[in-house]
Amino acid sequence: MGSGKTTVAEKVCSLNGFSLVDLDERIEAKESRKISEIFASDGEEYFRTIESKLLKDNLVYEKQVVSTGGGIVLQEENRELLKESGTVFWLYATATTIFERIKDDKNRPLINTNKSKEEIIQKIESMMSARFELYKDTADVIINTDRLSPEECADEILKEYKLLT
């Protein structure tokens, strides 16, 4: 969350002509409600089940970029599907950068609380720490987005992608 996945995916697609699958958008369309509403009414486990099904349904085409939510790696099946489907890029940012990028977004169910900035950054760090090895083991390429514009990040992805394919 907040690493730039959606914005950068859009840039990559516009630069190389691939189609974009934004998994969060697909989930919201299927459910006819925001992800924050899904979390609030049905919980994270329900959301993760939908997320996994839609991931599987959308990894069938070539020449596409699939932008996932940050928790996609929590289920082993998802990690295996991602690794089998193509080149996996992990867009990484520090907790402080993530906080600055998403602090005003009211549709972030895992961080929208009445807590202080420091407490929210600690929560982001905790989530990142719990997922770190999963991200690392799934990704083919890791890109730190802290100091990159979306355009620079997209250029880096395309450069790496060409080297790997």
> DSSP assignment of 78-128, as one string?
HHHHHHHHS--EEEE--HHHHHHHHTT-TT-TTT-SS--HHHHHHHHHHHH
CA distance 80 to 110: 24
Domain range annotation of the chain: 5-145
- Among 19, 131, 151, 127, CA closest to 79: 131
* Of 163, 130, 149, residue with least CA distance to 91: 149
pLDDT attached to residue 65: 94
Fold designation for 5-145: Rossmann fold (3.40.50)
- Quick one: pLDDT at residue 165? 78
Question: From the first residue on, what is the mean pLDDT of each consecutive set of 10 residues in the chain (165 residues)?
Answer: 86 93 95 91 94 92 88 94 93 92 73 79 91 94 94 95 88
C-alpha to C-alpha distances, 158 to 18, 65, 95, 152, nearest whole angstrom? 11, 11, 25, 10
> Cα–Cα distance between 47 and 65 in angstroms, integer?
21
